[in-house]
Amino acid sequence: MTDQALVELAFTMLDRSYVPYSRFPVGAALLCADGTVFTGCNVENAAYGSTICAERTALVKAVSEGHRDDFVRLAVVGRGEDYCWPCGACRQMLYEFAPNLTVLVARGDGQFVTLPLKELLPHGFGPASLT
């Protein structure tokens, strides 16, 4: 799957977001090495701490389906004028499973940038940190 196609798939998730509080929908699409893609959207909650981001939704879906160490690329998109950067909690969750992940971050006009997760979370704390 091309980077452009992955970003476009993430954009399809925006309308599925549940965002009655922030009104800031986010979509994500996580590509596995075998070509499987898991999508996600953000789901807010009146108890704000219970909210889950689009990136973590896609990741949890993938892990629950048996994928753990084969993540290749992740697209994260929003409708804003700026790029829709993953939050710190998402960066940490992604690092747990895919420290070498490539992240595609898009803004509302469809333009996106590509960078390694390790650049978004330098000196990340992962399983190897516990040895």
Contact 101, 74 (CB under 8 A): yes
Residues belonging to the active site: 55
On the CB side of 38, CA atoms within 13 Å amount to: 22
**Would you state the pLDDT for residue 13?**
98
Confidence bin at 131 (pLDDT 50/70/90) = confident
pLDDT tens digits along 64-113: 999 998 999 999 999 999 999 999 999 999 999 999 999 999 999 999 99
* pLDDT of 8 over the 90 cut: yes
Letter string b/e over residues 92-111, b meaning 16 or more CB atoms within 10 A of that residue's CB: ebbbebbbebbbbbbbeeee
